[in-house]
Structure 1
Amino acid sequence: MLRFLVIAAVLVMASCSYYYVNTDNERLGIARQQYEQLPRPPEFSKIKNITARKKAFFKYMRKGVTAENTRVSKERDFLLALKEKYQTDSVTPRDLVNAKLLGELYNVKLAKNALTKDWLTQMLLRVDVLPEALVLTQAANESAWGTSRFARQANNYFGQWCYSKGCGLVPRDRADGMTHEVAKFSSVSESIHRYFMNVNRNRAYKALRQIRAQLRTKGESVTTTFAAIQLVKGLNKYSERGEEYVQDIQAMIDHNQEYWLE
């Protein structure tokens, strides 16, 4: 399960983003959005019937995905309101403080603490929801439907890496000279949050964000199964398998159509 080095670089800011979710949303004028901590996951490996395991996995993970999309939606609403204020020259000092906080979280700093059209454009590219079909499918693929060692022992359902000794679990097949570990999270909810932040701000997935923006420009939904299949095209750097990985995820999304709520 090798990954491009750039994929895990975002984990350096992970503790910052976790703190933000619990506190700074209130400062942004957004309803406080704490993690809806998921309960301990079922022992998926003990569910022998494949259909039953799929249903249990998607049911369990869906609540966490919905919570993250709710958080991102509130942040995006703040940005859209801020854009209107910018266009009418009615941005307040408090708006700038809040914009700076959100910008730092998404790695888009305000130049000279001044709001600009370019900053708003870049932020709206990053601060947006993800289709549940995409998130749930990657979680199923990366965690072997919740049965992998990393899911069971590290709450890591998306294969995220880290690079500080002891930050996670050492892969048994790690090549000589490699130092990465598979990140360990405090909860499944945190794993889902880290995945969202990774996809929404890591430069490796710029193509995904552009595809999502193009769908919005066309007036199309970004949460449908169709959108999920399109967005996967921007994940060719998620795995060293590249295009083969993209095709596998697309096939899984299509194969599991009956489970997606739109």
Structure 2
Amino acid sequence: MKIHFSARTIAFALTSCLFIGACSDVLNSSKSEQLMTNPTEVNITSIDDLNALFDKYQYNDASWDKGNREVPRITFAGVDERWAEGSKSLPVEIKKMIFFRLMTPLALVSNENILREREIVKNSPLDAEKLKKIALKYDILENKTGNLDESMRTALLDRVDILPPSLALAQAAEESGWATSRFAQEGNAFFGQWDFSGNGMKPLNQREELGDYRVARFDSPLASVEAYMLNINSNSSYLKLRVLRSKLRAKDKAVTGIKLAGTLDNYSERGQDYIDGLRAMIRYNKLEQMDQAYLSDNKLIHLTTEK
């Protein structure tokens, strides 16, 4: 995906269209805390700057083709309406490169959080407060006064599990229109999740039979990815995904985006057409390679666009 093109084009598309900055989400494990706090700010003014950053961390085609799947910790604050307009003049492959390379670290950081929670679920006493907190988060416990048993721990482990980055990337691209949708611009909503609290963003053509639903807004793209994964891991609509994932793990088989996509007929009214579209996107863009990706040990990088 390393493609060189007009610095003038990328300067407009990237530096004026992407609001890149600090993110408040911080992991709780000691090592992750060290990596995610006191971030390094890197100012990006051109495609050369961005490619130089990617090259510094071997996050480029040359390294990828050699089998390196290490991804640096990079975050950004969001996009605005200028990205939707500016990206129209970009070659499709360039737009995809920017989108995937900035979204992949967010998927991996979100999975890192889930793995930390999974260790707590595996190893904590049943009366541990930190375990109960996770059980509440994933809707295994209904209230703080409830008690856990081993069967509930097992049920919790079926939920507290990672999702293939390939699936997250394909759905983010599909649901946000490559970060050009109004919801992505106004509320960092990359996955089209609904909100019935009244605090979300109202669709222009809201369907009355579904009630006063809105699209959930988030403080950052990372928060959107984390909420998406929690939704998949806790909502009854996606039980089939969790069952398949557990079966694959029990048989020591790979959990891939292509496989799990087949369970998401409830994610969209398009049903099987939606599934087929996700699988086509994963295959065409070779996103399953991302399922072998892992985060590097670099400190968190905040991209900025100061002149």
Tell me: CA distance 1:92–1:168, structure 2 relative to 1, closer, same or farther (3 Å).
closer
- Tell me the residue number matched to 1:54: 96
Q: 1:241 aligns with which of 250, 265, 270?
A: 270
Q: Which amino acid aligns with 2:228?
A: Y
Tell me: CA distance 1:150–1:116, structure 2 relative to 1, closer, same or farther (3 Å).
same
Tell me: CA distance 1:172–1:115, structure 2 relative to 1, closer, same or farther (3 Å).
closer
| Alpha-carbon offset, residue 81 of structure 1 | 2.6
Q: Which amino acid aligns with 1:256?
A: N
Structure 1: gaps (5+ residues): 1-18, 83-90
Tell me: CA distance 1:198–1:67, structure 2 relative to 1, closer, same or farther (3 Å).
same
Q: 1:78 aligns with which of 113, 120, 127?
A: 120
Question: Considering only CA atoms, is the larger Rg found in Structure 1 or Structure 2?
Answer: 2
1:175-229 CA distance string (max 9 Å, x none): 345411112211111111110110011111011001111110111232xxxx211
- Tell me the residue number matched to 1:170: 202
Q: Distance in 2 between matches of 1:158 and 1:37?
A: 20
Question: TM-score of the superposition, structure 1-length normalised?
Answer: 0.76
| Alpha-carbon offset, residue 246 of structure 1 | 1.2
- Tell me the residue number matched to 1:230: 259
| Alpha-carbon offset, residue 31 of structure 1 | 6.1
Q: Distance in 2 between matches of 1:209 and 1:108?
A: 14
Q: How many residues get paired?
A: 225
Q: Trace 1:3-18 onto structure 2 (pairs within 5 A).
A: none
Compare 141-150 and 237-246 and name the one that shifted more.
237-246
Q: Which has the higher contact order (CA 8 A, sep 6+)?
A: 2
The question of 1:154 aligning with 2:196 is answered no
Q: 1:109 aligns with which of 138, 141, 163?
A: 141
CA contact (8 A) 2:187 2:217 kept: yes
Q: 1:255 aligns with which of 269, 274, 284?
A: 284
Higher strand share: 2
Q: Trace 1:81-160 onto structure 2 (pairs within 5 A).
A: 81-82=123-124, 91=125, 96-109=128-141, 114-160=147-193
Q: Distance in 1 between matches of 2:237 and 2:133?
A: 23
Question: TM-score of the superposition, structure 2-length normalised?
Answer: 0.66
Tell me: CA distance 1:116–1:61, structure 2 relative to 1, closer, same or farther (3 Å).
same
Give the root-mean-square deviation of aligned CA atoms: 2.9
Q: Which amino acid aligns with 1:62?
A: T
Q: 2:228 aligns with which of 158, 183, 195?
A: 195
Tell me: CA distance 1:54–1:216, structure 2 relative to 1, closer, same or farther (3 Å).
same
SS in 2 for 1:169: coil
Q: Distance in 1 between matches of 2:115 and 2:165?
A: 14
- Tell me the residue number matched to 1:9: none
Q: What is the aligned-residue identity percentage?
A: 31
Q: Distance in 1 between matches of 2:101 and 2:117?
A: 25
Structure 2: gaps (5+ residues): 1-23, 38-72, 293-307
- Tell me the residue number matched to 1:67: 109
| Alpha-carbon offset, residue 114 of structure 1 | 4.8
- Tell me the residue number matched to 2:75: 38
SS in 2 for 1:58: helix
Q: Which amino acid aligns with 1:168?
A: G
SS in 1 for 2:215: strand
Q: Distance in 2 between matches of 1:235 and 1:107?
A: 20
